[in-house]
Amino acid sequence: MSNDGVMLQYENLRLAPGRNPVSGTLRAGEITGLAGLEGHGQEQFLLALAGFNRPRDSMVRINTAGGNFVGYSSHHSAARHGVVYLPRDRRSTGIFPVLSVLDNFGIPSMPRFSFAGILDRKKQKEKLAAYTEFLSIRYPSMGAPISSLSGGNQQKILLARLLALEPRVMLLNDPTRGVDLNTRLKFYDAFRQLAREKGIALVILSSEIEEILQICDTVSIFRDFERTEVIEKKAMTMSRVIAAMFGQKEVAL
């Protein structure tokens, strides 16, 4: 297979003992969905790509801005090379509740806004303002505690935080979980723009099949800690995805 457009390569990701390993690539500008019954390996797959608990004897490599493939084995190393992860539970693993909107946005990307160890707050605020417009984020002020925001706006701040790292690959764990319809639709528009206009490769684990059908180019089905099927956009239907999740042939709904 040609490496043209390949943003990330992964090999031999064994998600549970005795299961067949998963190998493949992610391509620039494509949105890949992950689906399966709860606890069937799709989250372990996403976390492995993000550098968490990567299986032994496996390999994940990112195509850097310089055109070279570089391996990584930790979450911090992945982020440095442009592979970023949005956790499912924003309250316990995402936001810093006592800190401001600006600090929640800027902490991971502080080196990008610093020179000789001095933080350029003006530049940081300008970048947050740009993402505020892009994602239609609402907050009283940049200095307001992030806990004063709605759940949807907190989630938008976390997405803006990842964008400030200028990612090449975004790994999103149920990104619209617990948000209202307007926020969900804004996220869909943003994901499409990031893929089509910025060339970012997105992987979206979603608990809602309708979401995958709307925004993903392909969906990988996980069952019993193996990837059992990859369904392309033109063949993607509700009944086919559900049947694959249960290890059955497609049935009419």
Q: What is the pLDDT of residues 194-232, one digit of tens each?
A: 999 999 999 999 999 999 999 999 999 999 999 999 999
Residue 56 CB contacts under 8 Å (≥ 6 apart), including other chains = none
Q: Average of pLDDT values for 123-149?
A: 95
Q: Stretch 76-83: mean pLDDT, rounded?
A: 92
Rounded to 5 degrees, φ, ψ at 231 are -110, 125
Q: What is this structure's pTM?
A: 0.92
- Position 53 confidence tier, pLDDT thresholds 50, 70, 90: confident
User: How far is the C-alpha of 126 from the C-alpha of 83, rounded, in Å?
Assistant: 23
Q: Quote the CA–CA distance of 50 and 60 in Å, as a whole number.
A: 9
The token pair that represents 220 in the structure block:
């990988």
156 phi/psi in degrees, rounded to 5: -65, -35
Angle at 167 between CA 99 and CA 114, to 5 degrees: 55
- Written as six digits, the tokens of 217 are 């180019």
**7 close to 169: Cβ distance less than 8 angstroms:** yes
22-32, pLDDT tens digit by residue?
999 999 999 99
Going from the N-terminus, what domains does the chain have, and what CATH number goes with each? Answer: 1-82+167-253 (3.40.50.300), 96-166 (no CATH)
- 71 within 8 A of 77, measured Cβ to Cβ: no
